[in-house]
Structures are given as C-alpha cells and as structure tokens.
A and B are shown apart, each in its own frame.
Chain A
Amino acid sequence: MVAKYFPNGSSGLLPPAVSVLFGCVEVYLSACACTVIYVHGSQHYHYLLILLYRPLTSIPQDTPTSKKLELDTVDSPSFLQHLSQSAVSSCLDNATRIAQILRFQKQCCDANLSTIMAVTHAQIAASVLFHAIETTAKESRRNVLVEYLNSILRALREVSATFEPAAATVNKLGHIPDNCNLAPDVGEAASCRDVWPASTEAGVVGDWAGIDILVEGSASRCGVKEQEERHSPSTGQDQTGTLELSDTSHSVAVTSPYSNSPWAEPIPAESLGGKQEDLSKHVLGKGPRFGNIKVTQKAGFDALISDLGFGGSKPYDEDMDMNTPDEATHLWNPGSSIEKAGFLNGS
C-alpha cells in the first residue's frame, strides 16, 4: 500500500526499505488520527491519545523553514517537524472530540463531570484547545475552537464547587483574548458559579444548545463559512466536496468534504498549478498532514483517500452534530450525513 506513494522506491538518501518504513509510520499515524476523529470512542481513550501525542508536539530546534518536506535522513529536522505537526493535529482532534462527548453527556446527566477522572479529561482537552486558540491565526477557525473550549469550561464550572481542580482550571483558562468572541460567561467563570443556563453571544441557552459543535457543512453560529466552493481549472466548474486531481495541471481542483473543517487550511494560490504539490495537507484538512507523500496521479490519490477511509465506504462516524438523540443515530449510519450533505455526489 505504501510503496505506491513512493513511486521511485526511495526518497532522498534513505534506502528503499527505510523509506517505505517511514512511509508506513507516517500513513499509520495519520490513519490513526483519522480514525480517532470519526470513531466515537471513549473519553478516556481520547484522553490517552492526547497524552500519547503531546510529548511529540514540540517542534525540534533549527528546523528549516521550507514548506516542502523531504525525507532526507533519519531524524531529519524537517521530518520530525512534520511528525510533530501531525501530533499537534491529533491532540487537537482528540480534544475537540472530548468536548463533543461532554456535550452529549450533558444531555443525559445532571452533572456530566461526575468524577475527578472526567475532570481530568476536560482539563487536558481545555489545555490543548487553549494552546490551539493562542497559536491559530485564522479567526474563523479560532472561533470554533473557542466554542469548544467554551463548552468544556462550562462543564468544569458546573462542578467547580465540588472539584477544586475544576475551578482552578477555569480560573486559569477562562481568560481568552477578547478578539476570540468569547462568550461572556466564560471569562468570569472562575468567580461566577451560577447554575446553568448561561448566556452566550448566541443567546440564552438552557443547555448546550448555544454551543455549536462542529458539523461538516455548517457552523454558521461560529461564524465559519463551511460550504466552500472552489473553481476547477480542469473542468471549468465550481464543485464542492468532491475529490479530484487534475493530471494535467497537478493542482487541487476542488475540495474534499473534510476541507470544510474549521482547521482546514485554505489552498494557497501558488499551489494551484504547481508541478508536484503536497496535496494531502490541502485536501485532508482535518487530521494529520501527509507532507512526505507526493501524489502525481489521480489513481494514486484516490487510492490514498480510499485507504484512509475517506469516501463514505468505511463505517466511521463523520457526523459530529449531537444535538439530539435522533441526530446521534448518524454515528451508526456510515456515510449518511455526508451523503445527505451531498458531499459524495458533488451536488
């Protein structure tokens, strides 16, 4: 599976076997995180994955500034930097997942953080989100992350009278820069222990309804334009949500359903029409990047997407909207929400 991503059999100074091995790790780490995103796993499971990836998130010193990562040598700074970026992305994905699970629990339990272990889960997720908010330049993306953090801090505040660590966390992380459009109740969360509901910019909420959990296709409450359309130079049409790679121009013609995620990076203009671009980091907006995988043919790209479970045939939980129990059933209907959104058929 990996060999086809390295058509020359090797990359840089590495022998073919080592190159393929690194490719395996790269694809595997990426695939793991993608699975984590869509499998509605355990809260503790996501917590452990954050613990697992967090030590790997520090970017090594004297790393090159080149965006194009080459697999030159073992322990090469660029390769480590790329892996660390994957680890950062994985941590963030798991943190947002914890926020979603907490929201779902809120619908079913009076106190969703009933144990200190759950508080610990919320704490680490909040810290990851806080770091992501501080380091994210894109405002729309940052707003979505703030909403996630907002939801976690509310949950922590709810039990702050019972668990002192929860109050301490809210006290530390409750101060988010003003330009993040933070809901007014979170900033004063440490000193204010009002009972639910709280008011947010989205209005008074009696439960988690005011918090917009990431939904593929709409996050209007967070101010994110999710439905992106890009012009395809090969077909001359604007398309949304389908994957296509133009063999003639080697460019990303249209976006994937996942490029609508708030942490999807916009496709830079200079990359369109480039000879051989790192397509994956643009197309697979969510999850880790595939910086050292260069795709030059549509068949190879489709195979990559298929192997990673993208395309609707793999039973992952792609719908993160968990407002109601009915909506929760999407989690067990593989591809249902994406099909409804028209992502697969390009409508």
Chain B
Amino acid sequence: MATMYMGKSSPTRGPDSRIDVLCNNAMLDLTEYSDRIIDHANCSQTVGSYFAAAALAQGLQDWYRRLPPQVRWSPNIFQTAPRGYFLLQ
C-alpha cells in the first residue's frame, strides 16, 4: 500500500535509504491505525468501547508483527541506522 506513495528505493541509494523507505512505509501503515484511534477517542466509556479498543490494539500488534526485519529493533542496526529508523522505533 505505502509503496505507491513512497516509491521503491533505488538499488544505487544504499542500505540506509532502503531502511528509510521501509520505515516510511511502516509509518504510513501505522498512520491508518492513527485515524481509527482518533475516531475511537471520542467514544463514550462503555464496555463496547473496550471491545473496540481491543480490536484496535490487535491491529497495532499485527502491524508490529508485519514489520520487516530490517526495521525491527536490533543491536546491529540501531548504531548505524538513519533517523527515520529511530522515529519508527
């Protein structure tokens, strides 16, 4: 989904650029959940709202599981990672 906005990284741009693109893609995916969460913020406090929160939390967890290994937190990456990586982290 996100690649149609961001484009694919060029092979000549180096590994850092590739990580930037992956981070941006992941952030765009996360933005979709932001919209839903903001909508949920106006809910009243009922049991149903907790059900909705549980569903949204599940979506966020799924997002985290789908993260490419290159942008997951790793001691081998964070020392040389670009800033976009830390924003994602």
Contact = CB atoms under 8 A, between A and B. Distances in A.
Interface string A48-89: 110111111010100000000000001100011001100100
A101 B56 contact: no
B24 to A, nearest CB: 12
Contacts, number: 114
Interface in A3-53: 22, 25, 28-29, 32, 35, 39-45, 48-49, 51-53
Interface stretch (A127-135, A182-190, A215-223, A325-333): A325-333
B3 interface: no
A109 interface: yes
Contacts of A101: 89
Interface in A81-105: 83-84, 87, 101, 104-105
Contact of B45 (A44, A74, A84): A84
B54 interface: yes
Q: With a 10 A CB-CB cut-off, give which of B40, B60, B74 has the most chain A CB atoms.
A: B60
A264 interface: no
A109 B88 contact: no
B5 interface: no
B47 interface: yes
B47 A43 contact: no
Contact of A80 (B30, B40, B47, B61): B47
A112 interface: yes
A51 B64 contact: no
A79 B87 CA distance: 37
Nearest to B50: A83
9 contacts: A29-B50, A41-B73, A42-B89, A43-B89, A52-B56, A53-B53, A60-B45, A104-B78, A325-B78
Interface of B: 26-27, 30, 33-34, 37-38, 40-43, 45-47, 49-51, 53-54, 56-58, 60-61, 63-64, 67, 73-75, 78-79, 81, 83, 86-89
